[in-house]
Amino acid sequence: MSNHSQTPKPIRLLTPKEAAAFLSVSVRTIQRLVAAGDLHAVRISKSMRFRMDDLLCFIERSNWS
């Protein structure tokens, strides 16, 4: 048996449109949240992308109660 080093699990990054659909908001709202520092985005060249974990953390931090 060979000892393989663990390779990281691939992460699917969401587009602003996909992130907006997931949160049921507009793409402009997503852009505002990122600009305000409330939502973390990943920069790929000139593109904005989102990790599902970051969207879920945003939801947890945004509870009304």
The reply to whether 6 falls in a domain is no
pLDDT digits (tens, 9 = 90+) for 26-60: 999 999 999 999 999 999 999 999 999 999 999 99
The reply to whether 63 falls in a domain is no
The reply to whether 23 falls in a domain is yes
The reply to whether 51 falls in a domain is yes
The reply to whether 25 falls in a domain is yes
Give the range among 1-5, 20-24, 29-33, 46-50 with minimum mean pLDDT. 1-5
The reply to whether 34 falls in a domain is yes
| The pLDDT of residue 17 is above 70 | yes
Range of the domain at 46: 13-58
- Flag whether the pTM goes above 0.75: yes
pLDDT score at 13: 97
The reply to whether 5 falls in a domain is no
Tell me how many domains the chain contains. 1
The reply to whether 3 falls in a domain is no
Between the alpha carbon of residue 35 and those of residues 1, 3, 4, 8, 31, the distances in Å are 50, 44, 41, 29, 6
